[in-house]
Structure 1
Amino acid sequence: MNYYIIAGEASGDLHASNLMKALKVEDTDAHFRFWGGDLMQAQGGELVKHYRETAFMGFVTVLKNLGKIRANFKLCEKDLLSYQPDVLILVDYPGFNLRMAKFARKHGIRVHYYISPKIWAWKEGRVKQIKVNVDRMFTIFPFETEFYKKHNYPVSFGGNPLLDAIENRPNKEESFADFTAKNQLSDLPIIALLAGSRKQEIERILPVMLDTISSFPDHQFVVAAAPSIDKAFYANIVGDRKVAFVYGQTYDLLQQSKAALVTSGTATLETALLRIPQVVCYLTGGGKLLYAIGKRLLHVKYISLVNLVMDQLIVKELIQQYCNPKDISEELTLILDNMEYRNKMLHNYQLLHEKLGGAGASARFAKMIYEDLQVHCAGSISKV
């Protein structure tokens, strides 16, 4: 089979690469052409565009790059028609991928969506586009399945591929001593700081996290630095505070940490799956007014995936005015020193792991995708 895959960011590159690896097991004649990154490229096939050239985030950035965005659409449309794949597999990245779904559908190309866009949080109206233009939707969260069920659109849940990424991570057996020696850290217990990967997000949240350092003199604070952000940017924020940095080692850092301060998003789920107690910290830009508007537009009770999946408050979410050094320090003290509180969170992490379906999601999704294509191709031949 010929597979055309579009992933527009680092997380998509990770999950798509694991899917490609699993597809090669199911389909020994698999051929890939894709938009993605280094991890997908390592699986073989032709890379059309790297996500570094297509990731435009934020209203102003999008406006400045409208010409490039239009050119990318044209290139992708032309390339898709030239390749004529058996299936187009879209990985999240809704702004680009929903348009490509419509284009592919118009030209008779089968469309699979792997990792649903977060329309359950906002822009729920996009479900109409998906029902018209997507042949199969594969979901990675149980609550997503319920969301689509509500809209009378059948989907397939196969578990969460993050479990595979974490299970197969490198340095899984690395000791605390080896990790600290490698990164020139002290032997004090570590508190990890995951302040996001975008500059605006880091500028808002990291300073607040750093203001808690003085309350925990018996711990060392270590930032999981985003590979795309240079050291000078972080240095300007940190000033003379005593904090260390590690680049490209987020999982390694977390597994050696006693606790973590984490922004909302996938990082909260990764932290939970690595069994590290956490405090979720989040600040939006634009102050109280913009936050109030955003809250009205969102259709979810929680901002962290941990709480969304479990549909209850498993980890504390400190948002806006509650995201301050005093409240963060109080919650951090609880998860460090109160063993009953800490163990309850860890117990709920185990339930979360079970609810997400266990390891092997990439293989399950690959099997579903390949079997669907076999049925579809057989049906197409019988009609001829």
Structure 2
Amino acid sequence: MKYYLVAGEASGDLHGANLMKALKAEDGEAVFRYFGGNKMQAEGGQLVKHYADMAFMGFTEVLLNLRTIYKNLSACKKDLLDWQPDVLILIDFPGFNLKIAEFAKANGIKVCYYISPKVWAWNQKRVLKIKKVVDHMFCILPFEVSFYKTWGMEVDYVGNPLLDEKAQFKPDFNFRAQNDLGDSKIIALLPGSRKQEIERLLPVMLSITAHYPDYQFAIAAAPTFSEAYYQAFIGDKKVKLLFGNTYNLLYNAHAAVVASGTATLETALFKVPQVVVYKGGAVSIAIARMLVKIKFISLVNLIVNKKIVTELIQESCTTEQVSKEVGIIVGGEGRAALLKGYNELLALMGNPGASDKTAKLIINYLKR
């Protein structure tokens, strides 16, 4: 069968690649075409557009890049009609993907949505649109099933694909030596994969290094940016820059400072105590504070529905605050309490197998 996938950011590329691998295991004649990234490309098929040209963060950034966004939408729609897949599989990235879903549905293409849009966070009435344009929804957060049910929509809960990725990970025991990390405890810095978030968060992350001279700091770098790009932020600070080694970094890390997003959950899966940070444009944040109706921004806290990790947002995301919170999690009772919270999280998340379950469900639905 012909599968068309759309992923618009680094996390979607990761989940898309795992789903493609699972689909190939179920369907020996699987052919792929997609908007995605390097990980999906490694699974074969045809990459039409890289997510690096698509990911814009915040209301202001979206407005400033509307021409590019509409150009990408038009290109995707035309390509869908030209290729005529058996199914369109959309991965998160709702601002773009819900428009593509509407177009595909109107043109007789089956629509599956893997990783639900965060409709429970704001504008919940979007569920009514989802019911019209999405044939099958596959959720990765436990509380989403009951949320959709309140709107009269049945969805499939498949577990979380990050559990699959973690289960497949094999640590490199030469990692420290190969990267000259020495014997000091490591504080990992995960500033995200989008240009806007890196430029807002990385300077704050790096500013705390002077407060912890006995620790080795290391940045999990996004593959879409060059070493020179990061070095402009690092300057003469003794910070290691690591590409393509996020899981080995987390495996070896004592603590972490993490940009809000998928990485907060990945960090928790490795049981690394973390401080979650986020900074957006002033206008974007003001709008979000009016519209968003959730108590937390990190997936860790959202899933457990209580504070496990500290979240420092906007004006709270300062050198002093981040440094203070890191001090709490590197040792003592604060660290122990956080690790206990992680155990609650892991119990709720269940077992690996999300990609395999989703692939089987998609193929069964199509055969029907």
Q: Shared fold (TM-score greater than 0.5)?
A: yes
Aligned pairs for 1:176-195 within 5 A: 178-195=174-191
- 1:336-369 CA distance string (max 9 Å, x none): 220x432332232233223122111111111111
Distance 1:78 1:329, change over 3 A: closer
Asked if 1:303 corresponds to 2:297, the answer is yes
Shift of 1:68: 4.4
Match of 1:133 in 2: 133
Paired letter, 1:324: T
Instruction: Note if contact 1:334-1:342 (Cα within 8 Å) is conserved in structure 2.
Output: yes
Match of 2:196 in 1: 200
Structure (1 or 2) with the larger CA radius of gyration: 1
Secondary structure at the counterpart of residue 358 of structure 2: helix
Distance 1:342 1:85, change over 3 A: same
Paired letter, 2:345: L
Secondary structure at the counterpart of residue 32 of structure 2: strand
Match of 2:280 in 1: 284
- 1:41-87 CA distance string (max 9 Å, x none): 33233333333344445556655654544343333223322333222
Percent identity, aligned pairs only?
54
Q: TM-score, normalised by structure 2?
A: 0.91
Distance 1:9 1:324, change over 3 A: closer
Separation (CA, whole Å) in 2 of partners of 1:348 and 1:2: 43
Separation (CA, whole Å) in 1 of partners of 2:13 and 2:232: 30
After superposing on structure 2, the runs of 4+ consecutive aligned residues of structure 1 that deviate more than 4 Å are: 56-68
Instruction: Note if contact 1:192-1:260 (Cα within 8 Å) is conserved in structure 2.
Output: yes
Shift of 1:189: 0.8
Paired letter, 2:172: E
Match of 2:319 in 1: 325
Q: TM-score, normalised by structure 1?
A: 0.88
Shift of 1:270: 0.6
Separation (CA, whole Å) in 2 of partners of 1:337 and 1:56: 37
Instruction: Note if contact 1:204-1:285 (Cα within 8 Å) is conserved in structure 2.
Output: no
Q: 1:255 aligns with which of 229, 251, 276?
A: 251
Which deviates further from its counterpart, 302-311 or 75-84?
Answer: 75-84
Which deviates further from its counterpart, 79-88 or 244-253?
Answer: 79-88
Match of 1:216 in 2: 212
Paired letter, 1:359: P
Match of 1:174 in 2: 172
Asked if 1:5 corresponds to 2:5, the answer is yes
Distance 1:282 1:348, change over 3 A: same
Distance 1:60 1:371, change over 3 A: same
Instruction: Note if contact 2:140-2:158 (Cα within 8 Å) is conserved in structure 1.
Output: yes
Separation (CA, whole Å) in 2 of partners of 1:123 and 1:304: 19
Shift of 1:323: 2.4
Separation (CA, whole Å) in 1 of partners of 2:363 and 2:339: 37
Separation (CA, whole Å) in 1 of partners of 2:48 and 2:288: 35
Match of 1:242 in 2: 238
Distance 1:57 1:282, change over 3 A: closer
Match of 1:370 in 2: 363
Q: How many residues align?
A: 368
Instruction: Note if contact 2:185-2:253 (Cα within 8 Å) is conserved in structure 1.
Output: yes
CA-based RMSD of the aligned residues comes to 2.2
Instruction: Note if contact 2:58-2:280 (Cα within 8 Å) is conserved in structure 1.
Output: no
In structure 2, runs of 5+ residues without a counterpart are none
Paired letter, 1:164: D
Distance 1:84 1:205, change over 3 A: closer
